[in-house]
Structure 1
Amino acid sequence: MRRILCTIQQGSLTSSQFRAAERALGEAYRQSLGSTDRTVVVWCEIPKGQSYTENRPSTMSWVLAETDDGLDATRRENAMRAMSRSWNAITGAGPNDLMLALVDSALFSRYLELNRARIRPTARPMFLLRTLTHLVTSRLTRGHLVIAANQHGS
């Protein structure tokens, strides 16, 4: 299983765009890399007014996808191009509205580990419980996995 984290502006995608983007990213990933790995997309929504690009409210999305350690640059670039084309076709994003990175699995895991480490040790169990609850609830109610950019008490 390969993980794909998508950080977007809240309200920027419709329900059908979420589903289409998940399918398209996974398909582009598998086809361009010749992979049989299943992909799981987790969305993080940034509340309106909490991100800026070029001194104005941002329309930027960030896609971080896990890949094999040591993937050569040509295959990595081809996969990023395919995923970017798919993303832009579904979301209508412009050329400056997407930052996409294919990250080695070891670095991807380290990124997640460091992200967890920023949470106070005493708050981690509750943070994890709230995050998992939010993921399950969003899957049941919205059809996709969403985490909140802002969690109180962490």
Structure 2
Amino acid sequence: MRRILCTIQEGSLTSAQCRAAERALGEAYRKSLGATGRAVVIWCEIPAGQSYTENRASTMSWVLVETDDGLDAARRERAMHAMSDAWNTVTHAGPNDLMLALVDTSLFDRYLRLNRDRIRPNARPLFLLRTLAHLLTSRLTRGRFAIAANHHRS
């Protein structure tokens, strides 16, 4: 199972677009890399007014995709083009509205670990429990795994 983290501006995509983007990203990933298995997408929504690009409110989405360690540059580039095309087809994003990165599993794990390590050790279990509960609730109510960029009471 591969992980894909999609960070979007709150309200920029409908639930239907998110589900379509999940399918399109997964299909592009499988076709371009010959991968088997499922890609799990986790959505993170940034509240309006909390991200800026070129000194104005951002419309940028950031898609971070886990890949095998040491993936060669030619395959990585093909996959990035395929996934970018898939994303733009579904979301109707403009040419400057997507930052896509294919990241080796070891670096992907390190990124997640460093994010987790920002939280005080004694607060991590409760934070993890709240995050898992939020992910499950969003999956049941919205049809996708989603977290807010600003966790309440964490």
* TM superposition shift of 1:34: 0.7
Deviations 1:84-105 (CA, angstroms, capped at 9, x unpaired): 0000011111111000000000
Give the distance between the partners of 1:102 and 1:121, measured in 2 at CA.
29
Tell me if the contact between 1:45 and 1:149 (Cα under 8 Å) persists in the aligned partners. yes
* TM superposition shift of 1:114: 0.5
* TM superposition shift of 1:151: 1.4
Structure 1 match to 2:37: 37
Give the distance between the partners of 1:40 and 1:152, measured in 2 at CA.
24
Give the distance between the partners of 2:105 and 2:13, measured in 1 at CA.
28
Alignment of 1:65-144 (within 5 A): 65-144=65-144
| 3-state SS of paired residue (1:124) | helix
The CA RMSD measured in Å over matched residues stands at 0.8
Structure 2 match to 1:8: 8
Query: In structure 2, what residue type is equivalent to 1:145?
Result: F
* TM superposition shift of 1:123: 1.1
Give the distance between the partners of 2:153 and 2:139, measured in 1 at CA.
23
Aligned residues: 154
Which has the higher mean CA deviation after the structures are superposed, 143-152 or 25-34? 143-152
Query: In structure 2, what residue type is equivalent to 1:23?
Result: R
Off by >3 Å, runs of 4+ in structure 1 = none
**Identical residues among aligned pairs (%):** 79
* TM superposition shift of 1:117: 0.2
Tell me if the contact between 1:123 and 1:153 (Cα under 8 Å) persists in the aligned partners. no
